[in-house]
Every structure is written in structure tokens, then in C-alpha cells.
Chain A
Amino acid sequence: MTTTKRHRLAPMLFGSCLALSLAAPASAEELRIGFVAPLTGIFAQVGKDMQDGFQLYLDQHGGKLGGADVKFIVEDEQGKPDTAVTKAKKLVLNDKVHMFIGGLLASSGYALAPVSSAEKTLYISSVAAADDLTQRDLKKYPYFIRTSWTSSQPHHALGQWACDQGYKKIVSVAADYAFGYEVAGGFQKAFEDCGGQIIQKIWPPLGTKDFGPYLPTIKADADAIFSLMVGPMSLQFPKQLRGAGIKKPIIGGGTSYDEFALPFMGDEVIGDVSGLHYSAALPTPKNEAFVKAYRTKYGKVPSYYSENNYTTAQWIDEAMKKAGGKWPGPEAFIKIMSEIKLDSVRGPIAMDDMRNPVQNIYIKKVEKKKMFGYEKDELWNTVIKTYPNVGQFWTYGKDKFLAQPLYSRDFPPCKFCN
């Protein structure tokens, strides 16, 4: 039986080899876009949100961006940086794409950026938020541009907000990996520079489901808890924290209360605050239209993963329009993209000189209410404060910010922990 299977597979593989090698670049107006997202494995649902966001924009615009017919080729990175590299190379070498987009995890972003340099092909990071890609490492990646965010970007603003609320002492509970360090680091930096104190840092491993061992260690004299949770952790942490009788307010990092997790949360999260560059409850006509279109098509509220990729498509659309519908080459395209002031679903965006967006940061509070004419009471991230035009360096200035090391487990040091 296996032999027959093998015999059947062999010609198929061979045939597809031929088919791929025959696929030659077509006419000039075709814009070939490669999209690398996890479609299998534990991050498959996030990958789907990413793909759906981009696809929605394409469908709304008849499959054209800036007048060029788009050939949208999606590849499965399986949530592994090594596979992301293979797939990106496949897109460049076989499909001769003009650009590739995507990469979910910071590690995928770090792995994909050198591919763009080696292959001299544009890489747009539409999600991967690793700080250094557009900071200390940028000069290595001349063909790289980011349409999403840096991990610390919204959390500087969130730290300032927490300080303005009069919180003095905060305990930080953040997932123990690079993204967690950058998020918690950004929050701590801004919060402490404003006069607050991080009195304890707890690092549960990524994927923790039982916070039992960590909750009792949370210091009793803290005014609030900062949490950075990812995936299923987001659901468990508030539930278990409240279950343990801890009533302190929670201030969450972006992914702790993102719309990707929010619909699955219980009422215990009502009143929790988080900060990010997008909220599905943004009360603008543009966002309302986007949420409705997305929900009608895919049956769920868009997450920031969806919005970021939708906006990426819009950005490419605008840039292609400016380029007159012809692909201008990666350097010129980056230049055009950097000059565009985009009126996007998440608000006005512009590119800074290190190719990372300057955008609104929204401080959001979870509320149960009806929105956009939907009948049921649902959990929404109501925007309670907007920090306009926030860049990746917050108020520190580029040079001063870049002089300090990358946020890590030990930076900024925990001066008030003991």
C-alpha cells in the first residue's frame, strides 16, 4: 500500500516541479505579493486572521492594488522561523515575487529580514514587532519596512498613562521571552521615568496555563498589576487572578486583551485596561465599516492582526498608485511608502525615518456593551484615551533611545525590587 502511495506521490511531485519551473514572470502590470503566515500549528488561527485581513482589502478592490493585478501567494510558515526562511526563498526564487509580507513571531521577523537583504527583495513586516528590526539592526536590512509596530511602542504610552492615573507601585507579570521583555521593558521605562515604581517582575514561561504558583507571590502593596499574556495565557491569567481573590486593577499589554482573545473571555475582565495601536471598538466610520465587512465575511471581530494586514494592503495600494501602477523596484517603493501619510482604519499613520509607523496609541478599557448596531452585549475594547502620533522612541528622541540597550529580562534593571 505504501508502495502505491509512493508511486502516486512521485509523479505528482515531479509534475509540480515542472509546473513551477514553467511559471515565468508575466506581464508588467502584475504585482506578485508573497505572504508568509502560520497556517498550521498552534498559531494557525492568528495566521488566518492575518491572511483574511489582507484578502479582505484585495476583495474590496477587485484584486487590484494601485491599478496592478495582484497575484497573492500565501505560504505556510508553520510558526517556525526556519520554515519561514524556506518559504520566503521559495516565493522569491520560484514565484519571483516583488515583495513578501508577514511573519508572525518576532523570531520569524528576525529570520525573514536577512532574506530580504540577501535576495534584494522587499520585505514588509505586517505583524512581527521585534524592536531591533527598525532600531539597532535596521542598517543591515535596506529592503525592510514595517507597517505594524514595535513591541515597546504602545507600552511606553501605557506606562505614562498608568503613572498619570496615580499608580505608584506596579507588579509586572509578563511572558518569559523576547517579546515579553520588550513589552514589559517599554512599560517599565516610561512608568518609572514618570515617577512610578515596578516593585516586582514575574516571568511565567510562554504558554503557562496554571498561574497558581505565581499568584501568591504577587506583592500585596502593589497598586496595580501589569500583565503581558500571549494566546491561551490571556484567557487564563485574569480568570485565575480574580479567582484567587486579587482585586487589584490590571493594566494589560496589547496582546493580553486583543480582540483575538477577547470574545472568549468571561465577565471578570470588564474594567481591565490595555494599550495597543488598534481597537476594534474605535468609534470612527472607517473602522465601523471595516469591522462590519470583516465580521460579515469571516464571522468574527477583526483582531489587530487582521487590521494590520488590511492596512498593509492599503499602504501598498496607495504606494502603487503613486508609482503609476508600475513596480518601481524595492528601494523606490520603500521611499514612496515612507512619504505616504495614510488615513487608515486605525487612524492616521506616517512612516518615521527608521521605517516604523508613527501612529495613534489607544488606551482601552474592556466594557460589555452593544456596538455598531450588533444586537448582543459583547466585550469591546472601548478607547478611553488616545495618544496621537506616537513613534517608536516615545519622547526620548532617537539618539538617546538607541544609545540604551535593547529591552531585556534585565533591562531596565528592577531598581525597586527586593
Chain B
Amino acid sequence: MVTQKFKILMVLVALLALAIIVPNSGSFVVLLTTRALCFAILAMSLDILLGFTGLASLGQAAYFGVGAYLTAVLATKFGFGLGWDFWLVVLLGMLLGAALAAFFGLFAIRATGVYFLMITLALGQCVWGLAYRWNSVTGGDNGINMNGRPAFGLDLTNEITFFYLVFAFFVASMAIMYVLVRSPFGRSLEGIRERELRMQILGYNTWLHKYIAFIIAGAFGGLAGVLWAHTNGHVSPENVVLTTSVDALLMVVLGGAGTLVGAVIGSAIVFGLREYLSTLVPWWQYALGAVYVLTILYLPTGLMGIPARIRQWRGSGKSEDSTKLTAKALASKPS
């Protein structure tokens, strides 16, 4: 069996490869990877909810949006966050995302399943409505144009330097989230995902656990938004709209929920197909659609379920593996 240490090693090697290969590829690849990394942070934050807590949220773009709008408004209206105070904006973005999640969580966490989905969708759309209609602050449908990136010793107008900055944030987020889901707290989240009633009987305050997970996801969503604002240079209601939430959800499901790495792979594939393949062929939408359908049909555990599938095909330790696989497949479904 593949041990946890080996898996971590593989992820580290992959990250190292990414850090070396991407800057040496074309500048468009750098640009696209930077964008995919921002969304990877968002998708991972959603994975904490969907994959580890079993809460399918359709409102994750709200936190992404407030982070992005905060950055853009501070930068354009107050000239704040364009020097060393950028780090303060990062902190503020995460705090605002967390605060919003703390507020929304009061309404959302009481619900489960489809009702949770609906409430998060409605709350997310509230934020979209605000972005769309609060013209004096958000610029309405036109959005806000940023005037350049922060400058603090590093030349962030250079796409490669900026890539490394986003990459550093990405790696840090991934490490923190990994530690989180491996901690006793993360384990109890998984317990709630598996069977909430049992956790309640064991004496866990499941509401509080879910609430805290929701807030943490919001904070990372906010971080992704702050980075996105500087990556894209333009913030518009399109960042907060439902499709952005759905995109994040699809990325997680595509890659494999409850794995963190899956969310990253999902983000890479969605960006690869939607932004890269679409520059090459007009039928990119069919490719994206086919990937979604085939994944749902044949890999309910997402692309991260492939190694397990291969092991199953090889037929080594048949009965044991297939039971495990079924258990895993069931586990990754949001209950």
C-alpha cells in the first residue's frame, strides 16, 4: 500500500517540479498557472467543507468576491495595500472572508444536504447582488480596475515573480489545510461527514465543528480573492456570480473530494481546458463536458480515485481492495 509519507513526498516533488518547470515555459503558461493556483486555493477551501465535512456549499465565491473587492476598493479608493501594507490586506481579506462566513454560517449550518446547498446559494447571490448594485463602491457591472500591483522590494509586475508569490501562498495554504484536516479537529469533521448522529452521541458539538470549518473555508476563500484581484487586475461581479461557485465545486468533484490535492488537479484541468484548450479548438466545451460526465460516471471518487482503480484492475488482494474502494467511494459522497 502507498503510505502517507510516500504521498506527501509525491506532492512535494510535484510542487517542486511546478516551481521549476512553469517559469521556464512560455509567459502564457505562467499567467495561466498563476490563475489556476488562485482558484486552487479556493477549491481547496471548498474541499474542507465538501470533502471533509460533507457540506456541499454553492456560495464559496462570496468569500472569494469579498476578498477581491476589498483589495480592489482599498487599492483604488484609498491607495492602501500597494506597498508593505499588502500583507495587511492579505490578513484583512482573510478576516473579512472569515467574518462573512461566521455571519452566513449562523444561517447555513443549521441546514443539511440540499437545504444547505440552497441556503449557501442564496447567501452567495446576496453578495453578488451587492457587488452588482452598490455602484458607488463596486462600480456595478463595470467592476473595478486595479492600477498596478503592490511593490515591496519584489518587482511584482514581473509575471514570474508574481507567480512565485502566489505559489508561496498556495503552498502555505495547502500545508495549513493539510495540517488542519489531519488534526483531531479534522478527524472529527470526517466523523461528522460519516455519521453526524454518532458524533453527537459521542459528545461532540457538531454544530460548532461545522461552524468553525465553515469559517476557516471562508478565510481561505478570502485569501484566494485577494490574490485573484492582483492576478487579474480587474474585479467584477463575475467573480462573485454563481458560476464561479459552481466552478469551484466542479473542480473539487472532478479532482476528488476529501483529498485537497484533488481540488488542485481539478483546478488545473478546468483552467487547462477552459482557458488553454479554448485558444486552440472551438470544441473545448465538449471536451470539458466529456471530462465531467466521464468522471461522474466512471470515477465517483474523482481523478484522485484513479490509483485505487488501477490497483483494483490489477486484481491484487481482490476482495479486500474492492470493499475498501466501495467504502471510499461512499465516503467521498457528500451525505
Contacts and interface: CB of A to CB of B under 8 A. Distances in A.
B185 interface: no
Interface string A103-124: 0011100110111001000000
Interface string A1-38: 11101100100010011001100000000000000000
Q: Chain B interface secondary structure, helix, strand, loop or mixed?
A: helix
B143 A107 contact: yes
11 contacts: A2-B298, A75-B279, A78-B278, A81-B238, A82-B232, A82-B236, A93-B28, A94-B28, A107-B237, A110-B143, A111-B234
A408 B298 contact: no
Contact of B233 (A16, A118, A178): A118
Q: Chain A interface secondary structure, helix, strand, loop or mixed?
A: helix
A114 B145 contact: yes
Contact of B142 (A5, A78, A178): A178
B280 A178 contact: no
A136 interface: no
A1 B35 CA distance: 29
A130 B140 CA distance: 12
Given A16-B280, A40-B285, A107-B142, A82 B234 contact: yes
Nearest to A40: B285
A169 to B, nearest CB: 26
B143 A409 contact: no
Contacts of A168: none
A143 interface: no
Contacts of B74: none
Given A2-B294, A178-B140, A179-B141, A114 B276 contact: no
Contacts of B239: 82
B236 A89 contact: no
B331 interface: no
A89 B135 contact: no
Interface in B108-152: 132-133, 135-136, 139-143, 145-147
A177 interface: yes
Nearest to B280: A16
B306 interface: yes
A151 to B, nearest CB: 11
Contact of B238 (A3, A80, A106, A176): A80
Given A2-B291, A81-B236, A177-B140, A20 B26 contact: yes
Contacts of A179: 141
A85 interface: yes
Interface string B273-307: 01111111010010100110011001100010010
A83 interface: yes
Nearest to B299: A2
Contacts of B35: 86
Contacts of B236: 81-82, 107, 110-111
A90 B31 CA distance: 9
Interface in B222-264: 232-234, 236-239
